[in-house]
Structure formats: C-alpha cells, structure tokens
Structure 1
Amino acid sequence: MARWTHLTITVSDLPKSIDFYTEICGLVVVRDRRPEGSTVWLGAHKSLDEDPAFVLVLLPGEVRDRVGHLGFQCGLREEVDQIAARAERLGILEAPPTDSGGVVGYSTIIRDPDGHLVEFTHGQPIQGL
C-alpha cells in the first residue's frame, strides 16, 4: 500500500517561508536541496537517526495556486491562542480562535508569506495526532 509522504507548495521568497514554517509552525529543515534543485524539505522535529513520516517541500517560484489549508494539531488550547496572538501582531491572522466543537475542535487560521492558509487546532478527534 502506498504511503503519503509529502506535499509541495510553491513559495515566492524561500528564506521568508523557511522562517515562517520553522518559527511559527515549529517545523525543522530536514533536507536542504538549494544547491542541487532549489527545494527545502521541512518536517516535524525528529531525532538524527529517524526520518519524518511526512514532509512539506518548499519550491521557489511564482505562486499560481494555493492549497486549501495546511493543518497543525496543538497539544494545548493555549498554544492556539498564542499562535493567533502572534499572527495578529504580524498582520497575518485570517480567523481568530473559535471553538466549533465536534470534529473541528478549537482552531485559528493564519496566512503564510504567500497567502497559503495554515490552520492550528486543538481537540480534533484524529487518532494518533
């Protein structure tokens, strides 16, 4: 059976996008291919001897299409509030924290440097997250 391993998004400013996804989303650079092919791969914090299960690949270029949204699950409701407050200070808050209950949980939505939507949730009943 095939395993889902990555998602590639086009970004207009690679360093700015790397900063966003590492500083705000908590991802780490797991492969830097700028010298060979221009992409940077980001994943969840991992040990040096363990490959991440899924990576976000940043491809520099003209942004023509955006994804619906990228989703991150937070361990605490307060983390969602902290991210929303930081996003508001940066002028990138799209939707303030809202408790929708059910399968959605508590969430906020922000925009990355190219306008891709990024959702942070707490309490989504998705096993294993």
Structure 2
Amino acid sequence: MRLLHTMIRVGDLQKSIDFYTQILGMKLLRTSENPEYKYTLAFVGYADESEQAVIELTYNWGVSSYDLGNAYGHIALGVDDVAETCTQIKAQGGKVTREAGPVKGGTTIIAFVEDPDGYKIELIQSENIGKGLGNS
C-alpha cells in the first residue's frame, strides 16, 4: 500500500491553488469538474501522484467556508531552513502562526503556517525528518 493523497475542502478554489502553488511552491497537477454533483477538484503536490502523496483540494460549489472541527491536526512539510521559509511565506502574504523554533520538549526546529481556509501546515527542518521530533 501507498499513501496517495489527503483531501481538504476549500471555500475559494483559486485562492487555495494560489497558496499551495505560489506560496508553498507546489505544482498544480490536475483539475476536474463535476457539474452534475457541483464540485471541482484540484490536485497539488511537489511531484506527480505516481511518485508521492499529494493534496486534493475539493471545492463544493456555493460553499465558502467549513467548520474545521477539533480532530484535524496538520499537514507537515520538510524544508531546508524553517526560519527562511517563514520569512518568504510572510513576504508573499502568507500567515505564520508559530515562528520558527524548537518543538516543545525537543530540539527539532518547526513552525506553523495556515492556508486560506485555516488548515494548519507544519514546517519541519529537513535535517530532522525521520528522526522524530525529540532530541535525537
């Protein structure tokens, strides 16, 4: 088995596509519309779906916002330099909700940003990926 994609519902498809492609540097891989059931899908990612997991942005026509609830956590992205990535995201109008710094109780450098719908995205310093979030 292989993880294929994570789906999130968005209130403004173009705004979300712009965030994931222009601010986070993903590629728009494909889109599809279903007029009968009134929804549009856009798949974004850093590589083709045949190579790695991607994000499916689902826009249900006429729905501009969702209650995110309290069960959803976040999407995590590995980056070379968390602090510099936060600076770039803010310069492009993105929202940083936790500045770069060590994870509570550990040494791994992380930060959090939000997409236009309020979904949390964790940035993790690449050198720590696969080592857990502690002092390893």
- SS across alignment from 1:34: strand
Q: Output the CA distance in 2 between the equivalents of 1:18 and 1:32.
A: 10
The question of 1:99 aligning with 2:99 is answered no
**Is the alpha carbon distance of 1:26 and 1:91 closer, same or farther for their aligned partners in structure 2, counting shifts above 3 Å?**
closer
The equivalent residue for 1:56 is 55
Q: Which moved more, 1:18-27 or 1:62-71?
A: 62-71
Q: Tell me the TM-score normalized by structure 2.
A: 0.74
1:38 matched to 2:40? The reply is yes
Judged with a 3 Å threshold, the aligned counterparts in structure 2 of structure 1 residues 40 and 91 are, in CA distance, closer, same or farther, namely: closer
Rounded to whole Å, the distance in 1 between the matches of 2:53 and 2:96 is: 26
Q: What is the CA–CA distance in structure 2 between the aligned matches of 1:102 and 1:26, rounded to whole Å?
A: 30
What is the letter of the counterpart of residue 17 of structure 1?
A: S
Q: Which has the higher strand share?
A: 2
Alignment partners' CA distance in 1, 2:105 and 2:3:
26
Aligned residues: 120
Contact 1:103 1:125 in 2 (8 A): no
Aligned-partner Cα distance in 1 for 2:44–2:11? 16
**Residue 75 of structure 2, aligned match among 58, 70, 77:** 70
* Cα displacement (A) at 1:3: 1.9
Checking the alignment, whether the CA contact within 8 Å between 2:94 and 2:114 is kept in structure 1 is no
Among candidates 119, 124, 129, match of residue 128 of structure 2: 124
The Cα RMSD (Å) is 2.6
Structure 2: gaps of 5 or more residues:
132-136
- Structure 1, unpaired ranges of 5+: none
User: Does residue 84 in structure 1 map to residue 79 in structure 2?
Assistant: no
- TM-score, normalised with respect to structure 1: 0.77
Aligned residue identity for 1:8: M
Between structure 1 and structure 2, the one with the greater Rg is 2
Superposition deviation, residue 91 in structure 1: 6.0
| Paired position in structure 1 for 2:115 | 112
